[in-house]
Amino acid sequence: MDKHTNKPSLSDRLKAHAASNSIPMHMPGHKRNTALLGTDLPYNIDITEIDGFDNLHGASGILNEYMEEIADFYGTERSFYLVNGSTCGILAGIRAAMKRGGKIAIARNCHKSVYHAIELFGLEAVYLMPEMDEAFGIYGGIATASIADTLKTHPDTQLVVLTSPTYEGLVSDIAAIAEICHAYGIPLLVDEAHGSHFNHSEHFPSSATALGADIVIQSLHKTLPSLTMTSLAHLTGDLIRPEEVARQLAIFESSSPSYVLMASIDRCFRLLRDEGEQLFENYNQRLAGFSEKMEQLQHLKVLCHGNDRSALHPTFFAFDKGKILISTQGTGLTGQKLSEMLRSEYHIEMEMAYGDHALAMASVCDTQAAMAALADALLAIDNTLNPHNGEHSSNDVTLIFSLPEKQCEIWQALESEKVDCPIENAIGQMAAEYVWAYPPGIPLLVPGERISNGFIRQVHTLLEKGTKVYSDADGLPKNIQIMHHESLAH
């Protein structure tokens, strides 16, 4: 029972319905028949939109009340449950804010769903390049000057889209950026998929929901105790109509939203509202203890933990200390090798590895034992390493590049006639497919951009470092799809 309103949680309501004698002559087809199917999956609380349980797309009953509670707590105009992950929120948010064929300014390190929106809605993309952190060889945030220059050059921009925090935990100055956007009457969408915990603790950067962003998309499942695919979309201000966001969500989100997933969102929110202060206090102490242990490292480095301080990273506005990015620069190890050692020798499964980096993601649900195990494993591995002479200055800059030359819009390239081309013959040609380094999912090349010698070298370097490089047609490293000359002429 909810101690704030005496209103039962969605999970309680679902359990009460499961315990009733109601005979389900409705979807889903498992009919809550646990005698046949067992109880290892939550069949009992998996229902459809029946009487008393509202409808997410057109919510006017209990689901509407639950979403209003979140909006009240977060201080937003509207908050929407998302059960198709943050992707559906990003697609719906961009479509709600833009006219078909309009101009959009996006950070180049945006999630691929942003690029898919550009493709689907025939948008004209202008890119904002993140700042470079030389010390770790990673992207920092988006500089306010970059936003100001771009909007001055492109005042007809209809929407600005940024990722903050990034996969590695880098946060941009959202308040200042929102102010610049609003001076032009342009809304700001922040992909805060990795920062859903920012609303709940002063130990972390402020959420974009409180800093003036017009649309904020958060993946609860990434950093909070909620099931995979659960997210939230938040609206603030009056530049984007909430009914249009709702209409677009009905297009990009399942018309049969899972009550199991919605119950997970509700439970996550109630837990953090009622116990969040203590949970985050304990979490902050565990991170502080981890960081203190990391001061003993001799060879490995952990971003903004241990002896690595924020002051050493002038391009950072703020940092999410729940992201533990380990650099193997100068040790002879790759991030992939470190990740494999942690898995095979210490039973620790990392979030990802690329180039000279491995990333661990922490949350309020990590135990003291888990954090200690990671710290002890890193110290043990560090003790076995010897500095490799001359390698200390060899930053892994494989994800850093100058923006390729754009010849046409993404959707034009994707709708062109495509041909496979051996990569060594592709210099100077126009790409007709995406090329991604994954993780972290940042496009190295976008359809409609010119293929350079530098890009081909970059692909080979990434592959040598053990980073997976994907393309739509999956022909790399041998072939890449290019635009046929005739379709280019049109």
First to last CA, the chain: 64
Distance, in Å, from the CA atom of 125 to the CA atom of 211, rounded to the nearest integer, reads 25
pTM of the complete model: 0.94
Kindly give the pairing relationship between strand 157-163 and strand 132-133. unpaired
Tell me the two tokens of residue 254: 């399942």
**195-225 per-position pLDDT tens digit:** 999 999 999 999 999 999 999 999 999 999 9
pLDDT beyond 50 at 393: no
Q: What is the pLDDT of residues 414-435, one digit of tens each?
A: 999 999 999 999 999 999 999 9
* Banded pLDDT at 489 (limits 50, 70, 90): very low
pLDDT at position 7? 87
Taking residues 321-336, what's their average pLDDT?
Answer: 95
Q: What is the pLDDT of residues 55-81, one digit of tens each?
A: 999 999 999 999 999 999 999 999 999
Average pLDDT, the chain: 93
Cβ atoms of residues 401 and 455 within 8 Å:
yes
In tens, the pLDDT along 228-280 reads 999 999 999 999 999 999 999 999 999 999 999 999 999 999 999 999 999 99
Q: For 39-58, write each residue's pLDDT tens digit.
A: 999 999 999 999 999 999 99
Three-state secondary structure readout of 58-109: CCCCHHHHHHHHHHHHHCCCEEEEECCHHHHHHHHHHHHHCCCCCEEEEECC
**Which amino acid, residue 373?**
A
